[in-house]
């Protein structure tokens, strides 16, 4: 494990009203202690998970549009506002890693087509544009992810079928078992969240706090849905009186 603590530099904040401090969970952030090799960020849409993950990527000097340190390309509006207001504590400090943003992965693939001269060695031997969405994600996880590194992943499940999400968990496991790879993953996937020995950090209810798997909406809503699908749908879709 490398990244141990994320601290908000409260004294530097000029306005609490503007983004990103208008986000309730971010406005109350003091510090987050990272204790496991795998940490998940969960929470309702718009609670600030990507904002914080992007700020961490910014402080790691990864391209905030997605990529590692050496991936320089521009995507509209990929500046991190929060990056200037957080401090990361490392033990030890590393610089190797990758920031995966599902929404701008296409731009990353285009950038790679332009600069790669290794026959896409770290990406499964083929342009990411010539692989399906899920195949390209898995190629990245299987071939590019290795060694001492920190991986910041924003909704990696976006391209993955349920079975491939399980494959991905096995990849995470194989990479972290020696203890020299760290993951911070924002996710909505009840499958990914089920990874044992991970911490789950919730951004719900206007605060950032550690929660148990079974208490997440992702677990509860999915479980209820699968066990009571017909009743659930009947309730949800019934005409208003
Ligand atoms: N560049 C920006 N400028 C202003 N507001 C922003 C900006 N980026 C995000 N926001 C707002 O900040 C809030 C948090 O956004 P963020 O993308 O961090 O949420 P999230 O938890 O990742 O949500 P999701 O689960 O939908 O991905 C949202 O209300 C969003 O509209
Ligand atoms: Mg997000």
Looking at ligand 1, which atom is closest to the CA of residue 47? 21
pLDDT at 17: 83
Mutate to test the pocket of ligand 1, among 23, 103, 203, 204 (most ligand atoms within 8 A of CB): 23
Report the DSSP beta bridge partners of residue 42: 202
189 Cα to the center of ligand 2, angstroms = 13
Buried b (16+ CB within 10 A) or exposed e, 108-126: bbebbeeeeeeebebbbee
For residue 48, the CA-to-ligand 2 centroid distance in Å is 7
DSSP state of 83: G
Q: Specify the residue with its C-alpha closest to ligand 1, atom 22.
A: 50
Domain ranges of the chain: 3-237
Each residue's pLDDT, cut to its tens digit, for the chain (241 residues) gives: 899 999 999 888 887 888 999 999 999 999 999 999 999 999 999 999 999 999 999 999 998 878 887 777 776 556 788 999 999 999 999 999 999 988 788 888 888 899 999 999 988 899 989 999 999 999 999 999 988 999 999 999 999 999 999 999 999 999 998 778 999 999 999 999 999 989 999 999 999 999 999 999 999 999 999 999 999 999 999 987 6
Backbone angles phi, psi at 70, to 5 degrees: -95, 5
Sign of the C-alpha dihedral computed for residues 120, 125, 131 and 133 taken in this order: negative
Please tell me the residue having the least CA distance from ligand 1 atom 28.
46
CA of 50 to the centre of ligand 1 (A): 7
Q: How far is it, in rounded angstroms, from Cα 81 to Cα 79?
A: 6
**Residue whose CA lies nearest to ligand 1 atom number 4:** 19
Which distant-in-sequence residues (6+ apart) come within 8 Å of 191 by Cβ? Answer: 157, 162, 165, 166, 169
Which overall architecture, per CATH, does domain 3-237 show?
3-Layer(aba) Sandwich (3.40)
């Amino acid at each position: 494990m490398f990244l141990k603590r994320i601290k908000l530099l409260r004294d530097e904040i000029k306005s609490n009203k503007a983004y990103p401090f208008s986000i309730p969970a971010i406005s109350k952030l003091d510090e987050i202690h990272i204790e496991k090799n795998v940490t998940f960020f969960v929470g309702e849409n718009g609670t600030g998970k990507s904002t914080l993950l992007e700020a961490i990527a910014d402080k790691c000097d990864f391209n905030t549009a997605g990529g590692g340190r050496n991936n320089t390309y521009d995507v509209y509006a990929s500046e991190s506002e929060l990056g200037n207001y957080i401090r990361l504590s490392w033990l030890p400090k590393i610089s190797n890693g990758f920031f995966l943003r599902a929404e701008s992965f296409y731009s990353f693939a285009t950038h790679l087509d332009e600069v790669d001269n290794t026959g896409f060695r770290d990406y499964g031997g083929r342009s990411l544009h010539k692989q399906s969405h899920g195949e390209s994600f898995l190629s990245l996880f299987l071939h590019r992810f290795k060694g001492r590194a920190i991986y910041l992943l924003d909704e990696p499940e976006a391209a993955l079928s349920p079975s491939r999400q399980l494959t991905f968990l096995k990849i995470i496991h194989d990479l972290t078992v020696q203890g020299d790879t760290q993951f911070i993953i924002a996710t909505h996937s009840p499958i990914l969240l089920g990874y044992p020995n991970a911490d789950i950090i919730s951004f719900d209810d206007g605060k950032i706090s550690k929660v148990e798997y079974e208490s997440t909406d992702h677990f509860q809503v999915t479980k209820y849905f699968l066990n009571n699908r017909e009743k659930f749908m009947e309730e949800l879709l019934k005409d208003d009186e």
